[in-house]
Structure 1
C-alpha cells in the first residue's frame, strides 16, 4: 500500500509552519517566503514533468 500525500495538504502544512516561524522570529520572513515560493512552484510544476 503506497502512501500518497495531497499537494494541497502539503502546501497547507508548509504555510502553517511558515506562519508560526514568522510570528516567532519576524526576521525570518524573507527566507520563509523565498523557500515557500520555491517549494510551491516545484510542487505545481512536478505533475507536468512526470
Structure 2
C-alpha cells in the first residue's frame, strides 16, 4: 500500500475525528493542526520534501 498526497487529508481527518471524540477539549488544537496540514498540502510544500 502506497500513501500518496491524495490519501494524507483523509488520514489526517480520520485521526482528528478520533481525537475529538476521545478528548473534546483538544478541538481547537486538532482543528488548527488540520488546517495547517491541508494548507501545506495545497501549497505543494510537502513535494519539496519528497513526501
Q: Structure 2 length normalisation: TM-score?
A: 0.77
Structure whose residues are more often helix by fraction: 1
How many residue pairs were aligned? 46
C-alpha RMSD of the superposition? 1.9
Structure 1 runs not aligned, ≥5 long: none
The ranges of structure 1 where at least 4 consecutive aligned residues each deviate by more than 3 angstroms after the TM superposition are: none
Give the greater-gyration-radius structure (CA): 1
Structure 2 runs not aligned, ≥5 long: none
Q: Structure 1 length normalisation: TM-score?
A: 0.79
